[in-house]
Chains A and B, each alone.
Chain A
Amino acid sequence: MGKLSDKLRLTFAVSTVVCVLVLAISPLKDFRAEWKHYKRWFVKYAQTRPDTKKLLADYSPSIDQVWLPGMNVTDRCTTCHQGITQLSLADASVPQPFRAHPPVPHNVRQWGCTICHRGQGPATEVAEAHETTLAWEQPILPAHFLEASCGTCHQAILKETPQLARGLELLTHLNCQGCHKLNNLDRPTLGPDLSSVGYKVTREWIYKWLKEPRTILDKDGNVTVNGYENEIEPRMPKFRLKEEEIRALSAFLSIQKARQIEKYSISPSVLAALSKKPDLVSQGEVRFRQMMCTTCHSLAVTRAGETKMIGGEIGPELTKVGSKVNEEWLIAWLRNPKSYLEHSNMPRYGWSDEDLYKVSQYVMNKLTDSDLLTNVPQLGAATEEETKTGKRLFAEKGCASCHALGGIAPQKDFGPDLTALGAKNASELEFSKAKIEHNLVSYIQAKLQDPVSVNPAARMPQYNWEQADLDAVTAALLSQRGPAPTSALQHLVVSRPEPAFQPVGAFAQVYERYKCYACHRFNGYGGTLAPDLSYEGSRAQKKWIADFLKNPQTIRPTLILRMPQFNMSDQDAAIAAEYLSLAVQKPDVDPASVDARQFTPAMVSLGKQLYEVKYQCQSCHTIGGTGGYVGPNLNNAGNWLTPAWVEAWLRNPQALQLNAIDPRRNFTEEEIRALTAYLMTLKSDIKPQTSASAANARLTGQGAGR
């Protein structure tokens, strides 16, 4: 036991102190852990609330987690977000992270958090849980794009997710599938088949179109189509083409004349009778309106100095089409769209020579613009070299992805596969020199807005997006997360129902000829412009269907777009009415189950009283010129609806039509009978509208409506 030297003693003392201090770090660090701070804060916060006991019932000072092994979920979010299931903490004044989750169909305890919100579930620090870190690249999904997570499992369209539905609709509409692989989309309608485009338009027009595909974005960011402001984005995007590329492509396309058009000569007697008439063009305009071409096509109309697009979005806008197409082509097209374009949605009208001549003269002489091609150089005939380059460019630029052209097959996997884009890490993305945040959302938005900004060599063309549409497409792309990572998650996927409506027999031809599905929906598939016809056979009387097809009338007073007058033959109308009324029914609404003959005058007068006084149905429905605009006009309900349908509707409208506005009421069975009896007495005869005055009256009405 020698005496320690002073020096050694000192070293020992110092190292002891250091050692104790270093050992003290660990419990101190633990005490100061971020999540513990929130734990303690929650206890303090709960004590300031009236329901302290309830709030702290499940409290434990350790880490909370939702562990769902089958779904690969280990979420410790509830460690800090302790009030997530406490109803009393729903108010916006409750500080985060304690606020309750808004009511959603999925319970947090059963689903965890990261399945929808992303982020790092097992993390116990704020930054690690929410942000991108070195070890974790999937940050929290901004709330604005949250619907993307719904779409990962729910492949059918949900009413609760309008943004996602719009995004998927746009991905379909713009035919993104032409170049990219994507999941869960409808079959798109393609761009026009170009194999005979040389018959349709001139080389100069093609040049103009390629240079500026209708859309013009001025320096203030206003989008105009043909010089008119328009909310509808044309489907053709802008490709960044050089002058010589445009020349080559226009040369190549202008010589495409694969299929001879069906030339048709209007009978000389009609020509002789009409061609000298001074009001030929205006007569054509009247017929154009009467046939309701504007249901699908829009025209720019100037009223009181203000120019607006009026008409539908299903077909192309036609304001200047007379300066675009050749007359011979137009007549062939109007007579039989399918002979030129196999997949066209344009119905085949029944034309008389008079109508055909009047309407084509109107289109060729009135819907024109002499300035349309002023900035286009005279291009002359296509040279062989230009044609060759054009053909090469057509393939290289990916034109074949949307446009069929004989002999040029669309390239497989032309653009990147996007089926798992939504699950990509930021490190897998190419940002080039773009000055944007390095995360998936800003990447997708930058790429959509300006493809070149994130990849100077991008082949993707330029689109003009409205902010809401850009966000919707972003959400839809974020929902594309590839196959589910675990089999338990795979079980959660709610797939889309298969298309069910495939009419057969003679009606299949009528259905195809008039393209019913372009506007109407059958069993969840088809257009959304016009009423869903999945149960039309239960709803409407057979005679009414036939009459309506021959002479469609507006049933809903606010509607401006209306069913076209196809000049349908008696036979076609009869086939359609027969098929719809027998085969397209709701199984539990048998039109024969209620006999209108049992209704007594006493029931009718009670029904009238209920309609007008007790329930005041006139707030939404019109009878005899008075009433509201919301529901259909009931003037002709007695001829239109089947009594069985009216009764079923009064019992529960949403059972027949999911999105019906008409609320379900507490009617007694007696009241339902009485109201049905009253409605079945409402009958009014409708005369066909062919005179000019009727069409003009409608035109004025349209103006007022807009």
Chain B
Amino acid sequence: MRSKLMLIGLFVGSVLCVLAISGCKRGAAAVSPEAAFGAYDTEPDWNDSTKLVNLGYQESQGKRVFYLYCVWCHADATPAGPSNRSNLTPTPPLLNDGEKLNPESDEFMQNIITLGGSALGKSAMMPPYGKTLSTQEITAAIAFTRAIAQPPYEKKVRPESPNATKE
């Protein structure tokens, strides 16, 4: 009789305990950060306009820089209509050309945008933007390039660049 009552007491106590503890867990992990924040901006996939690429803040700043400065020679369609790309020899790569641009390191990209083509033994038609754009803007433009690359850019498995030895 006595032990039975004690057991009941213990049981009630532990139930109370469990309830109280579980009460404070309620609602935790209800927010998945990606869902709460969403994408800052999007860009249609250049090869398939039905697909959208999600861009973060930095990538979307890169998108802005790209459509102001780079689009004229690194895309086939520009806000003004025709592209200047076909006028140039050698033909500049399209910005989403992963095969050409994925092998290049971020440092190489930063350098060629900052210092221009001739400084790195490439075409002088690529002008330097180091005095026009801030370092952050150039980094953002590279982040945008990586975001829209086809095939997709993967940092870890970067193949060896033909330009790597020149640096």
B74 smallest CB distance to A (angstroms): 11
What residues of B have a CB within 8 angstroms of the CB of A142 in the complex? Answer: 36-38
Q: Is A225 an interface residue (CB 8 A)?
A: no
**Could you say which of A18, A159, A558, A654 contacts B82, with CB atoms under 8 Å apart?**
A558
How many Å lie between the Cα of A515 and that of B148 in the bound state?
A: 42
Q: For chain B, residues 102 to 154, give those with C-beta under 8 angstroms from any C-beta of chain A.
A: 118, 123-125, 127-129, 131-133, 136, 139
Report yes or no: B131 in contact with A663, Cβ–Cβ below 8 A.
yes
**B81 interface contact, C-beta 8 A:** yes
Q: Which of B21, B31, B68 contacts A130 (CB 8 A)?
A: B31
Q: Once bound together, how far apart are the Cα atoms of A92 and B2, in whole Å?
A: 61
Can you list 5 residue pairs at the A/B interface with Cβ under 8 Å? Answer: A21-B14, A33-B24, A104-B57, A628-B88, A630-B72
Are A143 and B13 interface neighbours, CB within 8 A? no
Q: Does A29 contact B (CB under 8 A)?
A: yes
The answer to the question of B157 belonging to the interface, with a C-beta cut-off of 8 Å to chain A, is no
Give the Cβ gap from B128 to chain A, nearest Cβ, in Å: 6
Binds B, one of A6-14, A44-52, A480-488: A6-14
Known interface pairs A10-B6, A142-B37, A144-B41; A629-B64 also in contact (CB < 8 Å):
no
| B143, closest chain A residue (CB) | A102
| B16 lies within 8 A of chain A by Cβ | yes
* CB of A620 closer than 8 Å to a CB of B: yes
A616 engages B124 (CB within 8 Å)? yes
The contact string, 1 if C-beta is below 8 Å from chain B, for chain A 528-566, is 000000000000000000000000000010111000000
Which single member of B21, B57, B78, B118 contacts A25 (CB below 8 Å)? Answer: B21
Residues of A within 8 A of B27 (CB): 125-128
Q: Is the Cβ of B37 less than 8 Å from the Cβ of A665?
A: no
Which 9 A-B pairs rank lowest in CB-CB distance, beginning with the nearest?
Answer: A14-B9, A619-B125, A127-B27, A664-B131, A96-B33, A143-B37, A18-B13, A663-B132, A558-B80
A663–B31 touching, CB < 8 Å? no
Tell me if A160 counts as interface (CB < 8 A to partner B). Answer: yes
B28 close to A664 (CB less than 8 A) = no
Residue of B nearest to A33 (CB): B24
1/0 contact string of A688-706 vs chain B (CB within 8 Å): 0000000000000000011
- The answer to whether B164 has its CB under 8 Å from any CB of chain A is no
Q: Report B50-68 residues with CB < 8 Å from chain A CB.
A: 56-58, 61, 64, 68
Out of A130, A560, A630, A706, which one reaches B84, CB within 8 Å? Answer: A630
Is A140 close to B, CB under 8 A? Answer: yes
Assess whether A18 is in contact with B9, with CB atoms less than 8 Å apart. Answer: yes
- Pair A18/B21 contact, Cβ less than 8 Å: no
Contact A13 B87 (CB under 8 A): no
Residues of A within 8 A of B58 (CB): 102-103
Contact partners of A267 in chain B: CB under 8 A: none
- 1/0 contact string of A23-53 vs chain B (CB within 8 Å): 0110011001110000000000000000000
Q: Which of A558-580 contact B (CB under 8 A)?
A: 558-560
Question: Are A619 and B57 within 8 A (Cβ)?
Answer: no
Contact B31 A127 (CB under 8 A): yes
Residue among A15, A163, A665 making CB contact with B127, cutoff 8 Å: A665
Residues of A within 8 A of B57 (CB): 102, 104, 143, 146
> In chain B, what residue has the closest Cβ to A615?
B124
Q: What does the 1/0 interface line of B38-53 toward A look like (CB < 8 Å)?
A: 1111000000000000
Q: Mark B84-108, 1 if CB is under 8 A from A, else 0.
A: 1001100000000000000000000
- Bound CA span A591–B65, Å: 32
CB proximity of A220 to chain B, nearest CB, Å: 16
CB distance from A8 to the nearest CB of B (A): 12
Within A98-131, which residues are at the interface with B (CB < 8 Å)? Answer: 102-104, 125-128, 130-131
Partner of A32, one of B13, B24, B33, B73: B24
Which residues of A sit under 8 angstroms from B129, Cβ to Cβ? 663
Measured between beta carbons, the chain B residues less than 8 angstroms from A103 are 58, 136, 139
Q: How far is the CB of B58 from chain A (nearest CB, A)?
A: 4
B17→A21 contact, CB < 8 A: yes
Chain A residues within an 8 Å CB radius of B9: 13-15, 17-18
Question: Are A29 and B24 within 8 A (Cβ)?
Answer: yes
CB distance from A498 to the nearest CB of B (A): 27
> Which residues of B18-38 have CB atoms within 8 Å of chain A's CB atoms?
20-21, 24-25, 27-31, 33-34, 36-38
What's the minimum C-beta distance from B95 to chain A, rounded to whole angstroms? 16
Against B, the Cβ 8 Å flags (1 = close, 0 = not) of A623-663 are 00001111000000000000000000000111000010101
Question: CA A130 – CA B41 in complex, angstroms?
Answer: 20
Q: Is there a chain B Cβ closer than 8 Å to A666's Cβ?
A: yes
- Among B28, B34, B133, the one with the most A-chain Cβ atoms within 10 Å of its Cβ is B28
Contacts of B33 in A (CB 8 A): 96-97
| Given the contacts A127-B27, A130-B36, A619-B73, A665 and B128 also touching, CB distance less than 8 Å | yes
Interfacial chain B residues near A629, Cβ < 8 Å: 72, 80, 82-84, 87
In angstroms, Cα B80 to Cα A560, docked, is: 8
With A22-B17, A126-B31, A140-B37 already in contact, the answer to whether A664 and B132 are too (CB < 8 A) is: yes
Contact of B64 among A6, A162, A630 (CB under 8 A): A162
Residue A433, interface by CB 8 Å: no
Give chain A nearest CB distance to B39 CB in angstroms.
Answer: 6
Residue from B30, B84, B129 with most neighbouring chain A CB atoms (10 Å): B84
Name the one of B38, B81, B87 contacting A143, with C-beta atoms under 8 angstroms. B38
Q: For the complex, what is the distance from the CA of A573 to the CA of B25, rounded to whole Å?
A: 77
Say whether, besides A14-B5, A666-B131, A661 and B69 are in contact (CB < 8 Å): yes
Which A residues are in CB contact (< 8 Å) with B81?
558, 560, 705-706
Q: Nearest Cβ in chain A — how far from B18, in angstroms?
A: 10
Residues of A within 8 A of B128 (CB): 663, 665-666
Q: In the assembled complex, which residues on chain A have CB atoms less than 8 Å from the CB atom of B131? A: 652, 663-666
Nearest chain B residue, comparing its CB with the CB of A29? B24
Q: Which residues of B contact A558 (CB under 8 A)?
A: 78, 80-82
Quote the shortest CB–CB distance from B104 to chain A (angstroms): 18
Other-chain contact of B40, A33, A144, A559 (Cβ < 8 Å): A144
Q: Does A187 contact B (CB under 8 A)?
A: no
In the complex, the chain B residue whose C-beta lies closest to that of A556 is: B80
Q: Which residues of A contact B10 (CB under 8 A)?
A: 14, 17
Q: A17-B9, A97-B33 are in contact. Are A28 and B28 (CB under 8 A)?
A: no
Q: What chain B residues lie within 8 Å of A33 (beta carbons)?
A: 24
Query: In chain A, what residue has the closest Cβ to B10?
Result: A17
**Which residues of chain A are near B6, meaning CB under 8 Å?**
10, 13-14
Say whether A614 faces chain B, with CB atoms less than 8 Å apart.
Answer: yes
Find the B residue at minimum CB distance from A30. B24
Task: Say yes or no: A29 contacts B20, CB within 8 Å.
Answer: yes
Name which residue of chain B comes closest to A91, CB basis: B155
Chain A residues within an 8 Å CB radius of B132: 653-654, 663-664
Q: Do A661 and B28 have beta carbons less than 8 Å apart?
A: no
